[in-house]
Amino acid sequence: MKKQKLTFDSRIDYALILPAFLLNLIGLLVLYIATSHDYPTRVAKVMTQQITWGIAGVVVALVVMHFDAKMLWKFTPILYGLGIVLMILPLKFYDPLTVSLTGAKNWVYLGGSNLFQPSEFMKISYILLMARVVVSFQNRLKNRLLKDDLLLILYMFLVTLPVMGLLAAQKDFGTALVFMAIFSGIVIVSGISWRLILPVVVVVALLGGGIIFLTTFDAGRDFLRSVGMDNYQILRIDAWRDPFANAQGSTYQQAQGLLAIGTGGLFGKGFNIANISVPVRESDMIFTVIGENFGFLGSAFVILLYFILIYRMIRVTIRANNQFYIYVSTGITMMILFHVFENIGANIGVLPLTGIPLPFISQGGSSLIGNLIGIGLVLSMKYNQEPKFTQEHPKKQVMRSSRYSTKKL
């Protein structure tokens, strides 16, 4: 028997790269539109920064693509520890003005500018450690019982607790939701019994519905404030329930975003037209720029690109012959999928605003590089897969190599 030789091209998933590349190009285009109208004197600086971050992200992604499962497995605890340390920094080094505007201490502020958002890199480290914990636990099991599922959930909770604690200290509720989505995706794929999952889903749904109900009357709002909910979070729920209730005040951002998308119509107003003023449309509200300029068809094309990207990531996950890779890919897929779902949902009024950026499109180096690292990890699954063994006749494939079996990690 001999191994089939895999060429460099055959090890690259171009169908995964293409939608990510197009989304980045669209991001530069709509970022230019938003910046040229809102910050005309800063267009060159903003575009140069975004292009630089994009190039840096691609370089890092290409490096990560060459990391095999054993290397990732080995360095995962170190990356997680480094991520925790970085997430502590915004609690000390933050910009008071940014905190007053967003309500969160989630940016590291040094030298007169916000440098980076540590939670974006923590997402990758968190996914890697969750994958390692699940695989290590499952490889020790012989007969899986309900008590084993409970123990696995406990281990996963212990990994999650420090992250959620720091996010609570930063008051970054939006990012906390992303980590919850990653946690949920890995829990489901890990095979934990629905007898444990279903009650949690019911409790979360009731809790969310209860919070929304309490915001509808003064006594309920006072109660939410008394248990630690910030007023800006209550106002965001108000804006979601009725975007035009106070269109010149607390619901201005949501109302303007809906107007911008609505006036775009089917084909949009045309390139570089922004008649409706939308706050923070270079970042959290960037989908409104797409809707206003390119209309329903342009917006649908962007959503289609995300659909193709997610589909390719899921396909890579299903075809992976390595458990560790499967959980890593699941976490990254959930991370990007939730970002897309929440950002676009908030922009069109389906969900409350949470300040979550749109992957590959919104302004921001931390988010862009973090997402590109995630793409690099998914690409590494195909790039580092072991060639198939064949007989002397190449059409007779008889077995796959198990060199990357997780039981040997």
What would the DSSP string read from start to end of 325-341? HHHHHHHHHHHHHHHHH
Residues 6+ apart with CB under 8 A from 68: 380, 384, 404
Token output for 328: 């890593």
Q: What is the pLDDT of residues 238-285, one digit of tens each?
A: 889 888 888 888 889 999 999 999 999 999 998 988 889 899 899 889
Burial 258-296 (b: 16+ CB within 10 A, else e): bbbbeebeeebbeeeebebebebbbbbbbbbbbbbbbbe
Mean residue pLDDT of the chain comes to 87
Give the other-Cβ count within 10 Å of 405's Cβ.
Answer: 15
Question: What is the predicted pLDDT for the residue at 55?
Answer: 96
Question: What is the predicted pLDDT for the residue at 398?
Answer: 34
Residues 6+ apart with CB under 8 A from 378: 13, 16, 313, 316, 328, 329, 332, 333
Token output for 193: 């019994």
How do beta strands 108-110 and 389-390 pair?
unpaired
Q: State the 10-residue block means of pLDDT for the chain, 409 residues long.
A: 55 88 96 92 93 95 90 94 95 87 85 88 96 92 85 95 94 92 93 90 92 92 88 87 85 91 91 88 92 95 96 86 90 95 93 90 92 93 63 40 42
Number of domains making up the chain: 1
Residues recorded for the chain: 409
Question: What is the predicted pLDDT for the residue at 391?
Answer: 45
Burial 7-39 (b: 16+ CB within 10 A, else e): eeeeeebeebbebbbbbbebbebbbbbbbebbe
Range of the domain at 79: 2-408
Question: For helices 118-139 and 323-347, what crossing angle results, to 10°?
Answer: 140
Closest by Cα among 53, 23, 12 to 310: 23
Question: What is the predicted pLDDT for the residue at 231?
Answer: 84
Closest by Cα among 258, 228, 231 to 242: 258
